[in-house]
Amino acid sequence: MAITAQMVKELRDATGLGMMDCKEALNECAGDMEKAIDYLRKKGLKVASKRGDRASKEGVIDSYIHLGGKIGVMVELNCETDFVARTQDFKDLAREISMQIAATDPKWISPEDVPADVIEKESAIYTEQTLAEGKPEKVVPKIVEGKLKRFYEDVCLLEQSYIRDQDKKVSDILSAAIAKTGEMVRVRRFVRYVLGQE
């Protein structure tokens, strides 16, 4: 069964977990949503998976200024209750996310946020590159998928390697916060300013 972006989005909305985890689970479970949730829970992500359908309307807006005022970031980090939003750990997490954005310049929060025309354009470029390298046509889609994954790791905040631990993704840091607080925690939006840049 072909796993569609919509299926991945539905599982991600239901669990609050990263896109790649959700896609892997759906592939392993032949697109069965309930089995995919069980699969993710067995991987030790069960606490986060229970929180995905909760509303995250509390939180903080954090700002971070870097390089003597040359780069500025504002990020909105949401949780479920004001109690969690007021904790130092939550504020520290918002600051870490702000610093991540300042350092890595993501364009979107998750792969689901990348416009379809951007994905089509990148896929077309990767297809041409792969064919130009003389690769057999039957392996091109798999290679393009791998290149798109690396593209998402560059431009999507949740897929990026965490600046303080390259073995973890930003989505892993959020999952840890979900597990610790028992609440859904998500990045709602961000903006990054660079002095003099349009």
**44-53, 72-81, 89-98, 115-124: least confident range:** 44-53
**pLDDT score of 194 more than 70:** yes
Which one, of 65, 82, 75, 97, lies nearest residue 162 by Cα? 97
The amino acid at 184: M
CATH topology of domain 5-49: Helicase, Ruva Protein; domain 3 (1.10.8)
Q: Quick check: 51 and 41 in contact, CB under 8 A?
A: no
The residue ranking higher by pLDDT, 54 or 75, is: 75
| Token pair in block for residue 194 | 């660079």
Q: Residue 19's pLDDT is what?
A: 76
- Percent pLDDT > 70 in the chain is 92
Q: Where are the alpha helices (DSSP H) in the chain?
A: 5-15, 19-28, 33-40, 46-49, 82-85, 88-104, 116-132, 140-155, 170-181
Q: Residue 157's pLDDT is what?
A: 96
Q: Residue 54's pLDDT is what?
A: 57
Confidence bin at 152 (pLDDT 50/70/90): very high
Residues 12-66: tens digit of each pLDDT: 777 767 778 888 888 888 888 888 888 877 776 654 545 554 567 799 999 999 8
Q: Residue 121's pLDDT is what?
A: 93
* pTM exceeds 0.75: no
Q: What is the mean pLDDT of residues 2-8?
A: 83
Which segments of the chain belong to CATH 1.10.286.20? 115-154
Q: Any idea what the Cα angle at residue 101 is, between residues 100 and 107, rounded to 5°?
A: 135
**pLDDT score of 183 more than 50:** yes
Which segments of the chain belong to CATH 1.10.8.10? 5-49
Which one, of 10, 6, 20, 36, lies nearest residue 170 by Cα? 20
Which segments of the chain belong to CATH 3.30.479.20? 58-109+156-194
Q: Residue 45's pLDDT is what?
A: 60
Q: What is the mean pLDDT of residues 135-144?
A: 87
CATH for 115-154, among 1.10.3720.10, 3.40.50.150, 1.10.286.20, 3.40.50.20?
A: 1.10.286.20
Q: Residue 120's pLDDT is what?
A: 92
**pLDDT score of 85 more than 60:** yes
